[in-house]
Amino acid sequence: MYDFYEEVMKRKDDILHDIIELCKIPSVLDETTAKENQPFGEDCRKALDAMLAIGKRDGFVCEDVDGYAGHIDIGDAEDTFGILGHLDVVPCNKEGWNSDPYNPIIVDGQLYARGSADDKGPLIAGYYAAKIIHELNIPTKMKTRIIFGCNEENGSKCMKYYFTKKPFPNMGFTPDAEFPVVYGEKAICHMDISGEYEADNIIGIYAGTRPNIVPEECEAYVQGSYKQYQESFQAYLDEHHLKGSIEEEGNHTRLILVGKSAHASTPEEGINGAVYMCHYLRTISNNKFVEFVDRYFFEDYNGKKLKLRQTGKLGQPTINLGIITYKNQKAHLVLDFRVSPEITEERLTELLNRAMRPYKLSEVHDMSEALYIDPESELIQKLHNSYVEFTDDHEHLPQAIGGGTYAKEMPNCVAFGVQFPNENNQIHQNNERIAIESLLKATAIYTKALYELIKK
């Protein structure tokens, strides 16, 4: 019998080296440097080239699909098992990191870097799982195709394009969520809301860069001297245990409020700087846009104030206000909804339009379907059994999540790891990290699972 953990440990240094090299690349979407064969910008192109170079170094067949995505084939069977990961990352806050997010460091057994847990580290774990199966000369009925894209954090255009050019694998998983295995993912709706208002004492509000991140910092500008607001704003910060600042700029006042970033699928783990700012602004202004934000989103992460259905087979809905701008009396915000299939697109838009109508707001949106794989299927059962073998965890069972992954981009695919129960890898937050011991254990789990699914 194979000792897959021992095989992983033999390659520990190589695994860490490859992850660290990938994490040095700040592969955030950059449309200013987008061009042919690098549709998501220069740094995403560099990350794609770096991953392809790893496959070529190890002697595998590699292919670049027009800069959108690439793959590495390990084995030569006709049928294919897919492991899908992404190379792009979300932006980093200007402040809040204890180290350079693109200069990976290891402290107390934890690897700190943007992308270490989402999703460069897990992608390399999946790659080495397939590499180990190959190097042990285990006969397989399927080759493993490691597929990697560069736009998962902004709509997965990479994988949508890739699968117009390449066939779907027979089955697969993406190491881009949590353990145990995920049999269901909520539908995701991004709703772009806008409106115009008459001038009042609110000059501007700015927060957020991505719908799928809880915005940490919000900046607001209001008419009048800071002396009008200094006492009430500081009292508000103290009441809610928040950080912030206030200063005078000419004939108006600049307010900064600092919350806490988090992933949009778990907005309750963050503190939405934009929503908390609007809650304060409502005490000093009659601005109707501010009233709308405060009325429907303050201390409500599940849509109760919108009267969203609160239960479903994939759990409660979640809402994140990810982007807000208010300038020249023009209002704009982007909401990220994660909902069980029982909440239809028609019902969701009906409820939002009912709420927006008195505030003269309008919306456009796009919505993905939910994912559901039978928990009793071979794929789910073999993945889960591999997890249990290396963790002896019989408490945590196959699960549904709010996160959206590449699993939705192909049939018979699910999310599987890499974060373990009761661990927090700070995904999409300051000081993103992954425990090296957990990473190596996950690699062993992936190797065992792959063995069970593709062996002859």
How many C-beta atoms surround the C-beta of residue 285 within 10 A? Answer: 18
Side chain identity at residue 38, one-letter code: Q
Can the peptide bond before residue 13 be classed as cis, meaning omega within 30 degrees of 0? no
How far is residue 64's CA from residue 37's CA, in Å, rounded to a whole number? Answer: 9
3-state secondary structure 158-186: HHHHHHHHCCCCCEEEECCEECCCEEEEC
In whole angstroms, what is the distance from residue 299 CA to residue 219 CA? 19
- 22: Cα separation from own chain's centroid: 18
Pairing of strands 80-86, 143-149: parallel
Q: Which residues are catalytic?
A: 88, 152
CB 306, CB 321: distance < 8 Å: no
- Between CA 112 and CA 104 the distance in angstroms is 6
Secondary structure (3-state) at 285:
coil
For CA atoms 290, 291, 292, 298, the dihedral sign is: positive
From CA 359, how far away is CA 449, in angstroms rounded? 52
Count the residues in the chain: 456
Q: Is-contact 152 89, C-beta < 8 A?
A: no
Half-sphere exposure of 427 (CA within 13 A, CB side): 23
Q: Does residue 407 contact residue 414 with C-beta atoms inside 8 Å?
A: yes
Name the residue among 184, 189, 74 with its Cα closest to residue 135. Answer: 74
Nearest-angstrom CA–CA distance, 218 and 323: 10
